[in-house]
Structure 1
């Protein structure tokens, strides 16, 4: 009987599907960080969630902050790509904003500003700039959407950048939870529709 060769500690596992081990770890880390926040997630939890060893996690990401930055940059990149895809898709600008809102509110998340503030002291200047750059890119995509809608006379908007920031701020209100986990809105759809309806009254042409 052949004796299986023991895999060296920390070597990456060969995935059977198209998802690489590093991407699998990043996906698990992003889910955990967005649901629990930086302080409440350990490398052990990420390893368990990913189905790999803790040593494998460290093989790709030497520190927890390295993992955090890489996973959140990935999240912001995907969110930005999704928003850009929706904005370039069919429907009125109001319908597209509603679709963006529903997509955003369906994802459990810790507020980026709160989380960033808590760990900022643990990040290098380069890591901080990575996060800021990706978040700025998201606002720029939304800004272009408002700018184009104004150009097409769908809305009245003299400051697209301000409109983009107000929109995101309103979405954060939509996911607000109170004591006892009571929410401001009963459903994601109700939150999205209420937010867009309120916003639309201020910018509709």
Structure 2
């Protein structure tokens, strides 16, 4: 076998397991940086430096910065979807499950998805945007399933469960306002307040 045929591509990991581990590290690092600084500010060099890999390594795993953003963002949303499902499945009832979700969400505030997508959208192709939207809808579908179940058991008044899911998610954006944590104390206190308002309204 010639030297040319055995030469590795720049940045290519040596083993399959290492390959997967490096890819996951890049995704996790990119997610944190994108969430903290937004799309345009973060560079591939910055991501590489933060996870100790070269820029060629990033390009080996991801064809472009927009593709990395898409994968990082959809991975994050899919993780939120799994966590949402787990918390609601394990809870004694819908209200206690929503309070646990609210506490977790308020404890990890981040930029609103619409704001982030608006910034990144000019750089993303339609398929990438669609993938991100599908991952976001996955979270709403999990919530909607539990809301529908509560309606069937007369635990909630009849309504569009998906609309309720979107409404609940929007209320969680309260966590992005730092002053709310000073006003209402702990994330649990604010979470209980928001869930109570969501379930019972402001009668």
TM above 0.5, yes or no, is: yes
Please tell me whether residue 124 in structure 1 is matched to residue 125 in structure 2: yes
TM-score by length of 1: 0.85
**1:14 CA drift (Å):** 5.3
* Aligned counterpart, 1:190: 189
In angstroms, what is the RMSD of aligned CA positions?
A: 2.5
**1:30 CA drift (Å):** 0.8
Aligned length: 195
Whether contact under 8 Å (1:13, 1:21) holds in the other structure is: no
* Aligned counterpart, 2:90: 89
Alpha-carbon distance between aligned partners in 2 of 1:98 and 1:13, rounded to the nearest angstrom? 46
**1:57 CA drift (Å):** 1.3
**1:103 CA drift (Å):** 1.8
Deviations 1:66-87 (A, max 9, x none): 1100000100111111111122
**1:201 CA drift (Å):** 1.5
Alpha-carbon distance between aligned partners in 1 of 2:185 and 2:16, rounded to the nearest angstrom? 40
TM-score by length of 2: 0.85
Please tell me whether residue 136 in structure 1 is matched to residue 160 in structure 2: no
1:157–1:104 Cα change, 3 Å = farther
Which structure 2 residue ranges, 5 or more long, are not aligned?
A: 1-7
Alpha-carbon distance between aligned partners in 1 of 2:116 and 2:80, rounded to the nearest angstrom? 17
Deviations 1:55-107 (A, max 9, x none): 21121112111110000010011111111112221311100001111222222
More helix by share: 2
Which structure 1 residue ranges, 5 or more long, are not aligned?
A: 1-6
Task: Tell me: higher relative CO, structure 1 or 2? Use CA pairs within 8 A at least 6 residues apart.
Answer: 2
Alpha-carbon distance between aligned partners in 1 of 2:83 and 2:24, rounded to the nearest angstrom? 18
Alpha-carbon distance between aligned partners in 2 of 1:15 and 1:45, rounded to the nearest angstrom? 25
